[in-house]
Amino acid sequence: MASVKTGIVMMNLGGPATLDQVEPFLLELFADREIIKLPFQSWLGPFIAHRRAPKVRGLYAAIGGGSPILRYTTAQGQGIVERLDRLSPDTAPHGFYVAFRYVKPTSDDALRSMAADGVERAVAFSQYPQFSCSTTGSSLNELWRALDRTGLRGAFDWSVIDRWPVHPGFISAMTATVREGLERFPPETRDRVLILFSAHSLPLHTIDRGDPYPQEIGASVQRVVERLAAPNPYLLAYQSEVGPVRWLGPHTEQIIRMLGKRGQKDVLVVPIAFTSDHIETLSELDREYGAVARTVGITNYYRVPALNDRSDFLDALADIVREHLVSGRTCSTQYPNRCPGCVNDACRQIPRGRAAASSPAAGSSGSPDTARAAPAAPPSPAPRHAPAR
């Protein structure tokens, strides 16, 4: 087997694949201050995790005994690689490597596999379309820490795809799911269906530091609505709050209750920030909020599936990576722009590659072979190719 020239690290939070993994997953989640910052976290985090574990195990049991996110991420990775080998032969062969936060495969697993495959160029590809320090930022920080744990710092030439909230392919695929969802409603009421976009919430202390997540979510919603060009009313709400801290709202459940109270009968829910179905779509949106909708008089409640392994979405993912490879950029122009209230010195760094790590200039900023991301250079002129269809 030929060595992999370009490795694509697909970063996401992940989810427990079995019921036995639920409590360890929660313990890791509530211990991570880059995700959730709690008072007395070393005590309160485990307390919340242990207390929530039985209920959360029941939720996973109800959706099949575990999260399907690894299955979907694997299918997405395979789709990206198959398309990229055709679209970008100069950077082929390509390989994909899944890096989850609290379950296998972890960042350490991904890096070791990359080393074994002989990867030269590495692309850290966030699977969160909209950037947040709590999601993409913390995943990148963990990936860089894993380089030290595995002894592979300086082994690869790195670049980062840190956000893609308005990429045309992503917007097109998301809009297609909305159109398909609207077709499930009777023609005579279809134009009156309220489209409720739902995204994962964030603690307000993260937003107050200047995190760009809310505006990037809003940008995705606006592009989808514009492309949809339908008369339907729409709203944006946030879900999945956990822990005793204040979260970004309005809350999705609260909005559903208000809609029922004002007599709204038809609601189409769109998971605008989730690219794979998992417990927050299959359990929270479908089962929990679906039950709430019925109790408040919403007679037609439907949630569109996440993008998962749709062919048009795989085309979009491959085009995002192709554009990045062609551009020659290390990261987006926004990535070096730290939140004004950031207190984490590890944020917004990119490890130096093999040549840079061995040069006398290496380590002039950051750790010995990690540099603060510089503003991205403009892309090199290159022909634009349409993604494979």
Which residues are part of the catalytic machinery?
167, 319
The CA distance from 369 to 356, in Å, is 8
Pairing status of strand 157-161 against strand 121-126: parallel
The CA distance from 27 to 41, in Å, is 11
Are 12 and 139 contacting, i.e. CB atoms less than 8 angstroms apart? yes
Cβ-proximal residues to 158 (8 Å cutoff; 6+ apart), any chain: 122, 123, 124, 330, 350, 351, 352, 353
Largest CA distance in the chain: 71
Three-class DSSP category at 154: coil
- In single-letter form, the type of residue at position 217 comes to I
**Measured in Å, how far apart are the chain's first and last C-alpha atoms?**
27
What Å distances lie between residue 99 and 131, 265, 325, CA to CA?
17, 41, 20
Are 146 and 107 contacting, i.e. CB atoms less than 8 angstroms apart? yes
Specify which residues 235 forms β-bridges with: 196
Comparing C-alpha atoms, which of 331, 285, 334 is closest to residue 306? 285
For residues 301, 307, 312 and 314, what is the CA-based torsion angle, rounded to 10 degrees? -170
Strand order in the sheet with 300-303: 234-239, 194-200, 266-271, 300-303
* DSSP assignment letter at 350: E
At which residue do the structure tokens 């692309």 appear?
123
Three-class DSSP category at 152: coil
